Amino acid sequence: MFKTESFEDRQFKPLSIAVIAVSDSRTLDTDKGGALLKSLLEADGHSCFSRQVIRDDIQLIRAGVQALVANPEVDVILTTGGTGFTGRDVTPEAIEPLFDKRMDGFSVLFHQYSATTVGTSSLQSRATAGLIGTTFVFCLPGSRGACRDAWEGILTHQLDYRHKPCNFVELVPRLAER
C-alpha cells in the first residue's frame, strides 16, 4: 500500500516575492497596501525580494514588472493599485498583454471572497493574475482590505507548498517545460 503524503509531511518552501504599489500619490512610506502585503508574506515565511512604488503609467508598470520577471530570483510579483475604473487605473492594461497564461480563476475567487467583506463593492475591482514566463503575477486593488482579502483568502494557501490538494509552488519546477 502506498503512503499518502500529508500536510505535515511536506516542508514549507519559501518563495521570493516582489511587491509593486502602482500609484501617482503614494510613496513607500505612505503605501499601506504594499506594506501590509510585505508584512503578511513575511509572516507566512516568504521573503520580500523588493518593494517599490511605480506611477500609474502603462510603460513604467510594464518595465517594472518585466525587470522583475527577468530576475530568476523572483518567483511571484504582487501589484497593488490601479485595478479600478478611473482614467489613471491602468494596471490590467499594462500587465495582461504580458501574460503567457491567464489565471481567470483568481479574479473569480478574489471577487467571491471580497464580496464577503465589502459586498457588491467588489465589482469595482479588475483584479487579475497570470503567468509571465515562470513568474506568477497577481494584480490586486490598492486598499489594505483588498490586499488582506487576496492574501488571507487565496494567496496564503496557493503559495504554500503544503496546501492540498494542489498549489502553485509544486508547479514551479515545471513552469519552463515545453
Cβ atoms of 113 and 151 within 8 Å: the answer is no
* Domains (range + CATH), the chain: 11-174 (3.40.980.10)
* pLDDT tens over the chain, length 178 residues: 444 455 567 899 999 999 999 999 999 999 999 999 999 999 999 999 999 999 999 999 999 999 999 999 999 999 999 999 999 999 999 999 999 999 999 999 999 999 999 989 888 899 999 999 999 999 999 999 999 999 999 999 999 999 999 999 999 999 988 8
pTM exceeding 0.75: yes
Cβ atoms of 66 and 60 within 8 Å: the answer is no
